[in-house]
Amino acid sequence: MKTRSPIVSVLGHVDHGKTTLLDHIRGSTIASKEAGGITQHIGATEIPMDVISSICGEFLEKMKIEDRLPGLFFIDTPGHEAFTTLRKRGGSLADLAILIMDVNEGFKPQTYEALNILKTSKTPFVVAANKIDRIPGWNSTDNASFSEVVQNQHSKVAFDLDQKLYEIVGVLHQEGFESERFDRVSNFASQITIVPISARTGEGLPELLTMLLGLAYQYLREQLQIEEDAPASGTVLEVKEEKGLGLTIDTILYDGVLNKDDHIMMLTKDNKVISSKIRSLLKPKALEEIRESKTMFEDTDQIVAAAGVKIVAPRVDDVVSGSPLKVANDDNLRIEEELLSEVDNIRIQTSDVGIIVKADTLGSLEALVNILDDKDIPIKSAEIGDISRRDIINASIMYEEDTKYGVIVAFNVNILPSAEQELADQDIKVFQDKVIYQLTEDYIEWVTTAKERQKNERLQSLVRPATIRIMPKLVFRNSKPAIAGVEIMSGIIERGAVLINNKGNYVGRVESMEDNGESLPKSARGSKVAMAIADATFEKDFEEGDILYVDMDERNFMAVINELGDKLLDDELHTLDELKEIKQQVEDPNWGVVNTDWSELDTLDEDEYEDFY
């Protein structure tokens, strides 16, 4: 057994300093003239312990762990989707993470997204409160420890920093994490460590790296034990075309050893297992990022974890980013079962009715599903790959069940041409984004506005209380339809309203209303109009001077009381009381009696709310 370097990933909102931090750490190693001892691999930088010691100095000496860990292995990945891609059996590939944020701007959308990902993956993390050098009045000292540089600040500047840090502490508390500035932490097992830094000047980096090593040594020692001569296990970061090499696989190894000529097994986009024989193992020259390498790669016969490597192998076209990679020289069947179980390990609780979820990788699908699950959003199906015609059809079926589930939530994938054609003929909504947090927030906002829209439509559809009086000597036609001059005595009456008399007998239906030749869809209290009443006959169904009521059923009556009660005028409320008395005399003594605790409505979801009415 040997102890490998802890794998560390950096997450944070765009422009909050992730790239600058990694570049400064790499730059520090160059400045220390230890460049020859640093191995850079695929999207990753391995920093040996002697280099870290030169950066951290006395902070690391106090911890006495220099001989216990080989160093830190930073995964350099673009965006949170890449972090979620980096997973291994049992969870996240990263052992530790740095959540970096601009101390002056605080939490932003992608900061919350990163926090959700870290929470879901149960990855221990340290908060790097970046850009302390931009606090007004800050006196910078390049590459100094925070403990040293904070003593050189004016008391007002130090106070301003503390205020900003406690705002971060407050937000983390709301999100379920207890936290404190690193030198005030009382229990590293239960509190998140916040380290103020400047990625640009290097201030605070000694404490940041020391905290990471301390956490790794204290809580991850068993996790970092690997069998140096065991067959390698890794995660596919990316499959891409390299000039002169063909298709290659960028891989992070987290266990064992990988040899040239090994047989490796991976998953395809269709969740099938493929086997391929390694032709070449390639790594960039020291201090060059492989995605931007302008020199030739170095061929090697063996790579030992933790490390990044570019693999050249045949038949890897359909390998999915985020797939596990296993060496399978002898036990192909067992390895195949292990790989297939990776898909099963993404626990997707599907529902009979729910949204369609698509994502580009296993890891991002898992992260998206977990966030949707936390927000109690039901999922009909969740798959890897671009949006297909079948997805559109399935979403349209969900639309018929419930319009808010006629939706596809798609992370970092495209819509296939055949699906575009099908989409043009459907009413379903497609949400696409490369930020998981934004994607879920957009859907929730859309659902919320849809609920408001449905509620408004429901309120508009309610029959409101109103009465009319048949004006004497103004009956213009006796029937088919009866036409008379009427005065609106209370409320607002609309075309189509059903009219009853004070004994609860049906009189007719408002067919139309006119005023000075102008057709009116509705009329309010005080108006005098000519009204055509379908089904009514003068002197049989109504007389001059009669008061007629707009009819409504008990369900509508209760909805009006509950949802419009505080908006009704006194004359409308009086009309409701009269209507209730009429109904109780002719239908049921308990008609319109409210025996429900209406406050319970606040606790009902949309479906329960509609069922209630």
Q: Tell me: the pLDDT tens digits for 290-323?
A: 455 545 678 899 988 888 888 999 988 888 877 8
Asked if residue 609 is part of any domain, the answer here is no
- Residues 49-57 have a mean pLDDT of 85
User: Does one domain contain both 171 and 271?
Assistant: no
Cβ–Cβ under 8 Å, residues 598 and 565: no
Give the count of beta carbons closer than 10 Å to the beta carbon of residue 153: 18
Q: What is the predicted pLDDT for the residue at 352?
A: 87
Q: What is the predicted pLDDT for the residue at 436?
A: 75
- Residue 440: alpha-carbon gap to chain centroid: 3
Asked if residue 321 is part of any domain, the answer here is yes
Q: How far apart are CA 592 and CA 576, in angstroms?
A: 10
User: Does one domain contain both 57 and 195?
Assistant: yes
Q: Which region among 2-11, 280-289, 319-328, 330-339 has the lowest average model confidence (pLDDT)?
A: 280-289
CA dihedral sign of residues 550, 556, 559, 561: positive
Asked if residue 534 is part of any domain, the answer here is yes
CATH number of the domain bearing residue 382: 3.40.50.10050
Q: Is the peptide bond before 481 cis (omega within 30 degrees of 0)?
A: yes
- Residues 17-25 have a mean pLDDT of 82
- Residues 463-484 have a mean pLDDT of 95
Asked if residue 590 is part of any domain, the answer here is yes
User: Does one domain contain both 419 and 501?
Assistant: no
User: Does one domain contain both 52 and 175?
Assistant: yes
User: Does one domain contain both 477 and 443?
Assistant: no
Closest CA to 271 of 347, 332, 324, 350: 324
Cβ–Cβ under 8 Å, residues 51 and 300: no
Count of the separate structural domains present in the chain: 4
Write out 227-289 in H/E/C secondary structure: CCCCECEEEEEEEEEECCCEEEEEEEEEECEEECCCEEEEEECCCCEEEEECCEEEECCCCCC
CATH number of the domain bearing residue 591: 2.40.30.10
Q: How far apart are CA 66 and CA 52, in angstroms?
A: 9
Q: Is the peptide bond before 324 cis (omega within 30 degrees of 0)?
A: no
Structure-token pair, residue 49: 């312990």
Query: Does the pLDDT value for residue 598 go beyond 60?
Result: no
Percent of the chain with pLDDT over 70: 87
Which of 177, 195, 226 terminates a domain? The answer is 226
Which of 422, 457, 492 terminates a domain? The answer is 457
In which domain, by residue range, is 478 found?
A: 466-599
- Please count the residues of the chain: 613
Give the count of beta carbons closer than 10 Å to the beta carbon of residue 179: 23
User: Does one domain contain both 256 and 388?
Assistant: no
Query: Average pLDDT over the chain, rounded to whole?
Result: 84
Query: Does the pLDDT value for residue 342 go beyond 90?
Result: no
User: Does one domain contain both 9 and 127?
Assistant: yes
Q: How far apart are CA 597 and CA 54, in angstroms?
A: 69
CA dihedral sign of residues 429, 396, 358, 387: negative
Asked if residue 221 is part of any domain, the answer here is yes
User: Does one domain contain both 397 and 543?
Assistant: no
Asked if residue 471 is part of any domain, the answer here is yes
Quick: pLDDT tens for 92-120. 678 999 999 999 999 988 788 788 878 87
Q: How far apart are CA 128 and CA 194, in angstroms?
A: 6
User: Does one domain contain both 425 and 516?
Assistant: no
CATH number of the domain bearing residue 187: 3.40.50.300
* DSSP label at residue 150: G
Cβ–Cβ under 8 Å, residues 192 and 178: yes
Task: Report which residue type is found at 424.
Answer: A
Cβ–Cβ under 8 Å, residues 313 and 295: no
User: Does one domain contain both 47 and 174?
Assistant: yes
* DSSP label at residue 291: G
Which of 343, 370, 403 terminates a domain? The answer is 343
Query: Does the pLDDT value for residue 540 go beyond 90?
Result: yes
User: Does one domain contain both 478 and 578?
Assistant: yes
Cβ–Cβ under 8 Å, residues 51 and 34: yes
Q: How far apart are CA 406 and CA 424, in angstroms?
A: 14
Place of tokens 């190894």: 253
Q: How far apart are CA 450 and CA 448, in angstroms?
A: 5
Asked if residue 329 is part of any domain, the answer here is yes
Asked if residue 271 is part of any domain, the answer here is yes
- Residues 485-493 have a mean pLDDT of 95
DSSP of 172-189:
HHHTT-EEEEGGG-S-TT
Cβ–Cβ under 8 Å, residues 42 and 292: no
User: Does one domain contain both 152 and 241?
Assistant: no
